[in-house]
Amino acid sequence: MADARRSVLITGASSGIGLATAHRLIDQDWRVLASARRVEAMEPLRSRGAEVFHLDLVDPSSREALVHTISQRVGALDGLVNNAGYGDVGPVETMELDRARAMFEVNVFGLVGLTQLLLPAMRERRRGCIVNISSIAGRFVTPGAGWYGASKHAVEAISDGLRLELHQFGVHVVLVEPGLIRTGFEGVSAEAMQREGLQPVWGSMMRRVAAGWAEGFRKGSEPEVVARTITAALEASDPKPRYRCGSESEAVLVQRFMPTRVWDSLVRSRMLG
């Protein structure tokens, strides 16, 4: 007998926001398809009934294999949560372009590549919701995170384009913009922070940035806050184009109405002393 539950694919479901979202959607009786590079880390999801898959988002053959499996098992998805991504840090001047490209390959091109493969079935059925996980860094940039912010700005632009294009087909496109969330982001970037902190020109700035990040993430929100927001967007009949959530996310509203020079001064005083 066919599974009548709503179906959703979540990328980056092995930890943090993706893992919390998968658990919450299972609680809400969704058919959860969870994907990540580390399949073994998703065993708790499998034990709860999720279908887990390996996905290397930057590998076209891996994306194609997953979409083929989904088309065979599910057909058109009801929801897609593009959560997989990562951040690298360093001054714009000195970050190697290969590091920046690697970030864009995951955060932008991998996201779009997977979405392109899944979209035709959703579009033809004229139903579905794509949730792209951006960040407050997609709305404004802070020192030491220019390249990461650029990748999230790109996600915002692509999502705006998709939303406008897919409206005629009944497919919703939603941006979720978390603030500071305790996902271990600062731990993953700790090695880069330490290395950048040794630079003769930019080291002192990066050390101050690292200290500010440590304090900010210490007060950050739990991933479940974002999971609740994603679930609300997926279950809304007419979801909002953008959802903010989590610690410091209100800064987006402040920045929008503040002259750029005043905003720059505020950021510098807060992050660089």
> Residue 15: inside a domain, yes or no?
yes
- What is the per-residue pLDDT across 33-56, written as a single tens digit (0 to 9) for each? 999 999 999 999 999 999 999 999
> Domain limits at 178?
7-185+222-248
Indicate which residue of 147, 148, 217, 243 is catalytic: 148
- What is the per-residue pLDDT across 194-236, written as a single tens digit (0 to 9) for each? 888 888 899 999 999 988 888 888 889 999 999 999 999 999 9
| Tokens 């990066």, residue located | 206
Residue 197: its pLDDT value, please? Answer: 80
> Residue 160: inside a domain, yes or no?
yes
> Residue 262: inside a domain, yes or no?
no
Q: Write down the pTM of the prediction.
A: 0.94
Residue 1: its pLDDT value, please? Answer: 54
What tokens were used for 12?
């980056």
Residue 192: its pLDDT value, please? Answer: 81
- Give the integer Cα–Cα distance in Å for 5 and 270: 47
Instruction: Report which of 101, 208, 195 is spatially closest to residue 147, judged by C-alpha positions.
Output: 101
Residues in the chain with pLDDT values less than 70 = 1-2, 185-188
- Give the integer Cα–Cα distance in Å for 103 and 148: 7
> Residue 199: inside a domain, yes or no?
no
243 an active-site residue? no
Residue 112: its pLDDT value, please? Answer: 98
Residue 214: its pLDDT value, please? Answer: 85
What tokens were used for 66?
């997953």
Residue 66: its pLDDT value, please? Answer: 98
> Residue 151: inside a domain, yes or no?
yes
Q: Provide the number of structural domains found in the chain.
A: 1
> Residue 212: inside a domain, yes or no?
no
Residue 135: its pLDDT value, please? Answer: 96
> Residue 66: inside a domain, yes or no?
yes
> Residue 173: inside a domain, yes or no?
yes
- Nearest 5°: the CA angle 35, 39, 41 is 105
Query: What CATH number is given to the structural domain containing 155?
Result: 3.40.50.720
Cβ(180)–Cβ(217) under 8 Å?
A: yes
